[in-house]
């Protein structure tokens, strides 16, 4: 009996061994073999892992149909139905790389980003406030990037052959109608906002999203900070003024209030000035911000600011030899911005933003009093839907309402002009990832102006291809429209939109904290507004007969790795541009454009000295300007712009920073051309005066103190 049972068992074992099937093969991808991939039959324990050559082999006693599954991290799972009929099976299996949006290609044509970890960080908020010569100004720091042209007598952004009015600034999605301070003609301005208000910055110099309009050249997108870390009190003592700010934090929100007063009188008594001041510049500024969580991932943000500045300067009256007049300027600016973002289910989000600007300039000079008012409202709703990891859609609508007025009070009678323009806009844009190496963004934008009674519909297209894990190409194309300048719309509503077509190709490679970017572009301007005769008050004096072009090459390199505790970047721009607009008699190089622009910035942390030192060199080739005494329009050249700037931050204690900075250390003489009289003198000559900066150098010494519970916080955000 025992012998019989043994024979039966041996037979069953032999039958089982005979019925086992060997499954073997090789697993690979486009890059080569994949060792360590898991290969198994679904619903069983039968399987194995691939060896160093990507090969596998295992046996199974399962018969009939079964699913063979292969899994490897970073690749899409492979499933194949196979028939197990006792015969060996050998397979060649190729896995496709899984889509990972964090590692996928991103569109960078025309854009410099900060604060977005998915992108290569170009400039962070800390970069902006520690860049020597920027003096804590967002726009000053951006002028060390390629594509920008330095205009020392303006201080505004001039991007890729575009006028300063062709650039717009948005905070948390809503428009800032008056982003710069006010100044007299040919005097430099600065931005109104502290760079450390913002956690993320996107500076798009062309080919940007269909979500943004009314900008022919560039948009600057600023996203404000979320919740602060702790309660604190900040005290600022500077050679030009004082300031105090306090933050109160609670479980679901926080509030911050600040107040500052600046008076340049003591400073200008000591430092030689190129201007004759009657009343030195002074300003008072206050700000209030609220952050309130409304859900796990939702937050309401409110920011409000008020500023008042004033000064009086004595200028030569070029129309009357030997005479001078006082130019007095007083500016009041109020700005409020609110935003809220929420999830609508798992795949929908909605973002709402709104802003209000009220800016008033009161000017008095010679026998004229002049008042200019700008009041703007922007309301915007954006919806986003994620169809899948590879396909998403953004669409929305917005309203721009803008009122401008100018009032002149002369010795004879007052003259007033005003207009209100309401523009409704809508956009839709789809982002499609064909793979982790190829992405395209397709969009369209519609606008209608009730003042101009004009509408436009434009395409926006961009794409990027990832050449390797470190490098990619990006392209962008689109039409961009903008209203003519306020100075023209005050007198006529018979103009059409101005237009610029953008073509951009860029290449970027980033590795080990080193980034290299190269970009070529072409911009075709159409329908630029022109003043065709001297009767500026007649609507018939204006037309859209102007045109132009801008083309160039931008190169940017940043290295935070090679030098220990060191960080530097180099940027270069080549620009070729001409345009016929405003009162130009012919197509010519515009006065704001430089053919060559170069900047090099270096920063270093000296741990033993508890010091952070920054230095930079900036150069712009001579710009053209028009001399009415010459027969050639825009035939004269300014001096080249050169400046070497430095700053030093000393961490006296963890919560106390001592700061010093100087611009134009070597005292290079800057010259921005000449101002000319409105009419020739008795000898037929237009009298002139040079346009120069307010001073050859600027010095700043400051101490920043922060009081907090732990005593670890400081005001590094204010060291410029």
In a domain, 349, yes or no: yes
pLDDT for residue 298: 86
Give CA separation, 15 vs 58, 61, 325, 396, 460, in Å.
18, 10, 113, 69, 69
Q: Can you give the CATH number for the domain in which 31 is found? A: 2.60.40.10
Q: Is residue 102 in a domain? A: no
Instruction: Tell whether 103 is covered by a domain.
Output: no
Confidence (pLDDT) at 129: 59
Which stretch of 104-118, 121-135, 388-402, 610-624 has the lowest confidence by average pLDDT? 104-118
Q: Are residues 448 and 336 in the same domain?
A: yes
Provide the pLDDT confidence category of residue 655 given band limits of 50, 70 and 90.
confident
pLDDT at position 230 over 90: no
Q: Is the pLDDT higher at 365 or at 644?
A: 644
DSSP string, 567-626: EEEEEEEEEEEEEE-BT-SS-B--TT--SEEEEEEEEEEETTTTEEEEEEEEEEPPPEE-
> Residue 118: its pLDDT value, please?
42
Contact present, 269 and 695 (Cβ < 8 Å): no
User: Last residue of some domain: 94, 129, 147?
Assistant: 94
Task: Quote the pLDDT of residue 388.
Answer: 85
Does residue 411 have a pLDDT over 80? no
> 229 pLDDT exceeds 90?
no
Both 7 and 125 in one domain: the answer is: no
pLDDT, position 99: 64
Mean pLDDT for the stretch of residues 628-635: 94
Per-residue pLDDT tens over the stretch 89-109: 999 999 987 766 555 566 666
Does the pLDDT at position 12 exceed 60?
Answer: no
Structural domain harbouring 154: 111-718
432 shares its domain with 499: yes
Reply yes or no on whether the pLDDT at 9 is more than 70. Answer: no
User: How many whole angstroms separate alpha carbon 552 and alpha carbon 161?
Assistant: 9
pTM of the model: 0.84
Which of 332, 259, 334, 341 has the alpha carbon at shortest distance from 304? 334
CA distances from 155 to 181, 186, 347, 582 (A): 10, 10, 43, 21
pLDDT value of residue 15: 41
Distances (CA, A) of 605 to 422, 514, 609, 613, 650: 51, 18, 9, 6, 10
Average pLDDT, the chain: 87
Determine the distance from the C-alpha atom of residue 540 to the mean position of all C-alpha atoms in its chain, rounded to a whole number: 38
Residue 372 reports pLDDT greater than 50: yes
Q: What pLDDT is recorded for position 5? A: 43
- Give the residue-averaged pLDDT of 551-578: 94
3-state secondary structure of 483: coil
pLDDT exceeds cutoff 50 at 463? yes
- Rounded mean pLDDT of 310-325? 90
Residue 36's pLDDT is 86
Percent above pLDDT 90 for the chain: 56
Average pLDDT on 663-671 reads 92
Q: What is the mean pLDDT of residues 311-329?
A: 90
At residue 45, the pLDDT reads 81
User: How many structural domains are present in the chain?
Assistant: 2
- Asked whether residue 577 carries a pLDDT value surpassing 90, the answer given is yes
Rounded CA gap, 691 and 702, in Å?
Answer: 30
Q: Token digits for 498?
A: 């101005």
Q: pLDDT confidence of 682, banded at 50, 70, 90?
A: confident
Structure tokens at 601: 């910035």
For residue 99, tell me if it sits in a domain: no
Same domain, 375 and 516: yes
| 514-536: average pLDDT | 92
Do 57 and 149 have their domain in common?
no
> Does residue 617 share a domain with residue 569?
yes
**Is 106 domain-assigned?**
no
Among positive and negative, which fits the CA dihedral 71, 74, 80, 86? negative
Same domain, 427 and 516: yes
Lowest average pLDDT, out of 105-114, 115-124, 348-357, 374-383, goes to 115-124
Query: Both 242 and 344 in a single domain?
Result: yes
* CA dist list (Å): 143 to 80, 154, 275, 507, 600: 57, 12, 25, 21, 11
In a domain, 498, yes or no: yes
How many CB atoms are located within 10 Å of the residue 685 CB? 12
Any domain includes 566? yes
pLDDT at site 166: 94
Q: 325: domain CATH number?
A: 2.40.170.20
pLDDT band of residue 409 (cuts 50, 70, 90) is confident
Domain-terminating residue out of 38, 63, 94: 94
Identify the CA nearest to 27 among candidates 108, 94, 112: 94
CB atoms within 10 A of CB 717: 19
Does some domain include residue 632?
yes
Tell me, yes or no, whether 351 and 383 share the same domain: yes
More confident of the two residues 43 and 24: 24
Q: Are residues 81 and 136 in the same domain?
A: no
pLDDT in tens, 475-499: 999 999 999 999 999 999 999 999 9
Compute the distance between CA of residue 423 and CA of residue 376 in angstroms, rounded to an integer.
11
Task: Look at residue 380 and tell me whether its pLDDT is greater than 90.
Answer: yes
What are the start-end ranges of the H helices in 215-293? 265-270
- State yes or no: pLDDT of 385 exceeds 90: yes
Q: Specify whether 308 is located in the same domain as 420.
A: yes
Q: Are residues 83 and 158 in the same domain?
A: no
pLDDT (mean) for 121-126 = 57
pLDDT at 410: 74
Domain edge (last residue) among 53, 69, 94: 94
């Amino acid at each position: 009996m025992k012998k019989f049972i043994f024979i039966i068992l041996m037979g069953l074992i032999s039958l089982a061994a005979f019925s086992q099937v060997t499954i073997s093969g090789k697993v690979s991808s486009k890059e080569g073999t994949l060792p360590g991939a898991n290969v198994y039959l679904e619903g069983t324990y039968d399987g194995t892992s691939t060896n160093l050559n990507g090969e596998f082999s295992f046996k199974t006693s399962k018969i009939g149909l079964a699913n063979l599954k292969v899994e490897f991290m970073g690749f899409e799972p492979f499933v194949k139905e196979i028939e197990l009929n006792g015969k060996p099976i050998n397979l060649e299996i190729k896995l496709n790389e899984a889509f990972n949006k964090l590692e996928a290609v991103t569109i960078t044509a025309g854009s410099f980003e900060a604060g977005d970890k998915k992108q290569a960080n170009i400039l962070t908020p800390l970069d902006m406030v520690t860049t020597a010569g920027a003096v804590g100004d967002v726009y000053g720091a951006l002028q060390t990037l390629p594509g920008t042209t330095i205009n020392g007598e303006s201080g505004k952004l001039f991007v890729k052959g575009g006028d300063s009015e062709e650039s717009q600034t948005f905070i948390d999605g809503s428009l800032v109608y008056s982003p710069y301070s006010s100044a007299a003609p040919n005097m430099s301005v600065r931005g109104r906002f502290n760079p450390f208000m913002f956690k993320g910055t996107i500076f798009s110099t062309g080919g940007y999203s269909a979500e943004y309009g009314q900008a022919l050249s560039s948009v600057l997108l600023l996203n404000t900070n979320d919740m602060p870390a702790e309660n604190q009190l900040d005290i600022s003592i500077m050679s030009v003024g004082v300031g105090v700010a306090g933050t109160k934090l609670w479980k679901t929100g926080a509030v911050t209030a600040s107040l500052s007063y600046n008076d340049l009188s003591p400073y200008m008594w000591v430092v030689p000035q190129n201007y004759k001041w009657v009343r030195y510049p002074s300003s008072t500024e206050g700000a209030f911000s609220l952050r309130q969580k409304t859900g796990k991932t939702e937050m309401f943000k409110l920011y409000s600011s008020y500023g008042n500045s004033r000064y009086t300067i004595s200028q030569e009256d070029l129309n009357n030899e030997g005479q001078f007049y006082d130019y007095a300027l007083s500016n009041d600016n109020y700005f409020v911005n609110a935003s809220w973002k929420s999830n609508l289910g798992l795949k929908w989000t909605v973002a709402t933003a709104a802003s209000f600007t009220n800016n008033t300039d009161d000017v008095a000079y010679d026998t004229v009093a002049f008042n200019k008012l700008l009041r703007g409202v922007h309301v915007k709703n954006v919806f986003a839907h994620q169809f899948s990891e590879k396909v998403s859609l953004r669409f929305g609508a917005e309203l721009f309402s803008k009122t401008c007025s100018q009032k002149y009070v002369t010795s004879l009678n007052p003259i007033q002009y005003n207009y209100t323009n309401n523009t409704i806009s809508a956009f839709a844009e789809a982002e499609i990832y064909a793979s982790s190496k190829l992405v395209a963004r397709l969009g369209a934008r519609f606008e209608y102006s009730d003042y101009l009674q004009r509408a436009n519909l434009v395409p926006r297209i961009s794409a990027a291809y990832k050449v390797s894990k470190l490098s990619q190409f990006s392209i962008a194309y689109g039409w961009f429209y903008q209203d003519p300048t306020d100075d023209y719309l005050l007198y006529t509503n018979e103009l059409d939109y101005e237009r610029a077509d953008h073509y951009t190709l860029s290449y970027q490679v980033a590795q080990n904290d080193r980034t290299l970017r190269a970009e070529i572009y072409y911009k075709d301007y159409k329908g630029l507004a022109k003043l065709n005769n001297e009767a500026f008050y007649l609507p018939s004096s204006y037309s859209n007969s102007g045109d132009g072009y801008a083309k160039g090459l931008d190169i940017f390199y940043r290295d935070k790795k090679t030098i220990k505790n060191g960080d530097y970047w180099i940027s270069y721009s080549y620009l070729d541009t001409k345009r016929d607009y405003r009162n130009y008699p012919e197509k010519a190089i515009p006065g704001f454009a430089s053919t060559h622009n170069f900047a090099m910035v270096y920063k270093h942390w000296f741990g033993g000295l508890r010091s952070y030192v920054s230095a930079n060199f900036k150069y712009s080739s001579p710009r053209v300007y028009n001399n009415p005494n010459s027969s050639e329009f825009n035939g004269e050249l300014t001096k080249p712009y050169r400046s070497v700037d430095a700053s030093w931050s000393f961490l006296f204690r963890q919560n106390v920073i001592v700061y010093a900075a100087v611009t134009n250390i070597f005292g290079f003489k800057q010259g921005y051309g000449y101002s000319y009289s409105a009419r020739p003198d008795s000898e037929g000559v237009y009298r002139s005066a040079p346009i120069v900066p307010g001073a050859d150098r600027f010095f700043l010494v400051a101490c920043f103190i922060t009081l907090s519970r732990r005593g670890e916080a400081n005001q590094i955000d204010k060291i410029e």
